[in-house]
Structure 1
Amino acid sequence: METSHLGLSVPRSLLLCILYLFTSATRGSFSGNGCGKPLQSQVQLKGRDLLTLKNFTGEEIQYMLWLSADLKFRIKHKGEYLPLLQGKSLGMIFEKRSTRTRLSTETGFALLGGHPCFLTTQDIHLGVNESLTDTARVLSSMTDAVLARVYKQSDLDILAKESSIPIVNGLSDLYHPIQILADYLTLQEHYGSLKGLTLSWIGDGNNILHSIMMSAAKFGMHLQAATPKGYEPDPNIVKLAEQYAKENGTKLTMTNDPLEAARGGNVLITDTWISMGQEEEKKKRLKAFQGYQVTMKTAKVAASDWTFLHCLPRKPEEVDDEVFYSPRSLVFPEAENRKWTIMAVMVSLLTDYSPVLQKPKF
């Protein structure tokens, strides 16, 4: 098809290309990809649930990180407005309080033109005043997706089974996938690539460690994890992580010695020793975790390019000020990246958008 104007015959495809270049230039968004068309990916996540990274391939997780980098670049650095979620609403169920999960999700979803609806235990009682099945069906009729921050992973599984919309795990007793996406984006930005990095976990065998174990090997990352005796990760998750390591040619080391886990590690990682719901165990846990504080002594046995991650909130017994506030600490970029990664999750599950930014090297 050609368009004729003032006696000139111009192919319609060329006109569209010129129009895109012009609009992209005026918006400051042209990325130099041919005619400016978004880079197309073979990965399609629309309509999926995100309950655990166990259910996603390395390529699919890479896609979410690529999309995170794309949105961050276009919105934060280029100043573009991308109403990709305009007209869509998100139900946010919070059985556990949060700073980063709530702020990142509310501000991120709204920034993309959507409407987030925050629901606490005062607003919605999962499985108490109304069954999980009924709640799932009601939410499916009124919202486009649900992010749930809950105590039990089994509640998320039921919500996902009974819902006709995507369900996203905002945290559970077993997994915290959206935190790990932010961690990986932070490391990608700092190191330029994830492949070959050694992650050194020093702390509790909790939902954060479980999520790392379900994904690190898929990027070619090694994992060395130290937990006190009696606080090891779930045996079933360890078994699956061993399988992933074997399939991807990576190393998985489980130990009770913090310095053994830190030795040669590129990334020192810890988390709270006392999660919400474990307050009665505080005295017992503090005793069990003696010697697990991350300090410069810990860093001395790490790799020369070591960095530090903590998903926050942080307590001094977990990591001292010298490490936490050092130039090697990435905790605050890590916190900010919670926003860009959750935005990418929502866009990937609810739209057909493809990134414009060149795909990073993973």
Structure 2
Amino acid sequence: MATDFLSIDDVTDDELAWLLDTGNAYASQREGGPQPLQGRTVAMLFEKPSLRTKVSFDIAAYELGGHAVYLGADEVGLDKREPVEDVARVLERWASVIVARVMAHSTLERFAANASVPVVNALSDVEHPCQAAADLLTIHQSKGRVEGLKVAYIGDANNCALSLGLGALALGADFAVASPDGYAFPDADAARLRARSTGGALMLTTDPDEAAADADVLYTDVWTSMGQEAETAQRRAAFQGFQVNERLLTRANSGALVMHPMPVHYGEEMEPGMLEHPQSVAYTQAENRLHAQKAVLRLLVAGE
């Protein structure tokens, strides 16, 4: 049973399927149901800005009967004011879950190693498993399944891409990634993706048209993630042609979903207007952050 949620690899295939089923149940009926956080507190510690993750976790804690406490980077000063290890050992005395958005994934690993309560990755430089859980829930709701679909990711092989790929392959989908030279998955991440596959194929290419061909999902994310601002000009040049737009959508299957975790840099990774396209489910992805994260909290706290 999962004790932390730092990576999609922290849950089994059965637990991942349970997260989607439970998230879908929460989407159908937000009120009622088990309240595993009754009388409990979720400590949220964020080193990076957040809209969807912060608000949805706050509401998730409330709707599961609990309470969330938010701590910004300046309030805690990880490894400046005091070390991660001390913060973890203090927070575990008060909170039932620690939700952390961090600059470095190693910070999450240090939290998990030193806290006796579950630790949830609310985004790191390596993975974004909560986003992937919401993405997979959205695909399942829209298509009725994940197994046998082709999910195409266009752009930077980043944290969102890795978590999405691990989850999609675990559920039996094909996962195709188109990235420019120098921005593809490292060999170690590609090996992790292949190891998680339960029958789906992994395609790594530098050609967006090849990745998008016959896809059931077209997914993209920003070219420049938080913390990479100094690389903005370089990345804009490198990623020219790696945009989800009307033309690329014609390469995909009819009715293919258009997905983006938001926020969007219009005119870069996504053509203006595509977020409002009839085939876009980006706002549903955002809504499903709440439902998927309620399922994650329930799994970790109630051990279901």
Normalised to the residue count of structure 2, the TM-score between the two structures is: 0.96
How far apart, in 2, do the equivalents of 1:299 and 1:143 lie? 45
Does residue 201 of the first structure (1) align with residue 153 of the second (2)?
yes
Partner of 2:230: 280
How far apart, in 2, do the equivalents of 1:156 and 1:243 lie? 23
Where do 1:205-244 residues align within 5 Å?
Answer: 205-244=157-196
How far apart, in 1, do the equivalents of 2:91 and 2:264 lie? 34
Contact 2:136 2:164 in 1 (8 A): no
Partner of 1:109: 61
Does residue 164 of the first structure (1) align with residue 116 of the second (2)?
yes
The superposition leaves residues 119-178 of structure 1 with CA deviations (integer Å, 9 ceiling, x where unpaired) of 001211112211111111001111111000001010100110111000000000000000
Does residue 55 of the first structure (1) align with residue 10 of the second (2)?
yes
How far apart, in 2, do the equivalents of 1:313 and 1:154 lie? 25
Match 1:323 to one of 271, 274, 279: 274
The superposition leaves residues 68-125 of structure 1 with CA deviations (integer Å, 9 ceiling, x where unpaired) of 11222232xxx43754311100110100000000010001111222110000012111
2:278 corresponds to which letter in structure 1? P
Task: For residue 58 of structure 1, report the CA deviation from its aligned partner.
Answer: 1.2
Where do 1:59-98 residues align within 5 Å?
Answer: 59-75=14-30, 79-80=31-32, 83-98=35-50
- Rg: which structure is higher? 1
How far apart, in 1, do the equivalents of 2:153 and 2:241 lie? 14
Contact 1:182 1:334 in 2 (8 A): yes
Partner of 1:176: 128
| Dislocated runs of 4+, deviation >4 Å | none
My pick for the range that moved more, 81-90 or 58-67, is 81-90
The alignment partner of 1:321 has SS state of: coil
Count of paired positions: 303
Partner of 1:299: 249
How far apart, in 2, do the equivalents of 1:271 and 1:65 lie? 22
How far apart, in 2, do the equivalents of 1:241 and 1:111 lie? 34
Contact 1:224 1:254 in 2 (8 A): yes
Partner of 1:191: 143
Partner of 1:346: 297
Task: For residue 218 of structure 1, report the CA deviation from its aligned partner.
Answer: 1.2
The alignment partner of 1:92 has SS state of: strand
Task: For residue 304 of structure 1, report the CA deviation from its aligned partner.
Answer: 1.3
Task: For residue 64 of structure 1, report the CA deviation from its aligned partner.
Answer: 1.2
Task: For residue 349 of structure 1, report the CA deviation from its aligned partner.
Answer: 0.8
Normalised to the residue count of structure 1, the TM-score between the two structures is: 0.81
The alignment partner of 2:74 has SS state of: coil
The alignment partner of 1:238 has SS state of: helix
How far apart, in 1, do the equivalents of 2:273 and 2:28 lie? 31
Partner of 2:264: 314
1:49 corresponds to which letter in structure 2? D
State, as a whole percentage, how many aligned pairs show the same letter.
34
How far apart, in 1, do the equivalents of 2:239 and 2:190 lie? 21
Tell me, which stretches of 5 or more residues in structure 1 are unaligned? 1-43, 355-362
Contact 1:213 1:237 in 2 (8 A): no
Match 1:337 to one of 283, 288, 294: 288
Contact 2:173 2:199 in 1 (8 A): no
How far apart, in 2, do the equivalents of 1:206 and 1:141 lie? 34
Partner of 1:255: 205
Contact 2:156 2:223 in 1 (8 A): yes
My pick for the range that moved more, 267-276 or 207-216, is 207-216
Contact 1:269 1:309 in 2 (8 A): yes
Contact 1:195 1:219 in 2 (8 A): yes
Contact 1:296 1:322 in 2 (8 A): no
Partner of 1:33: none
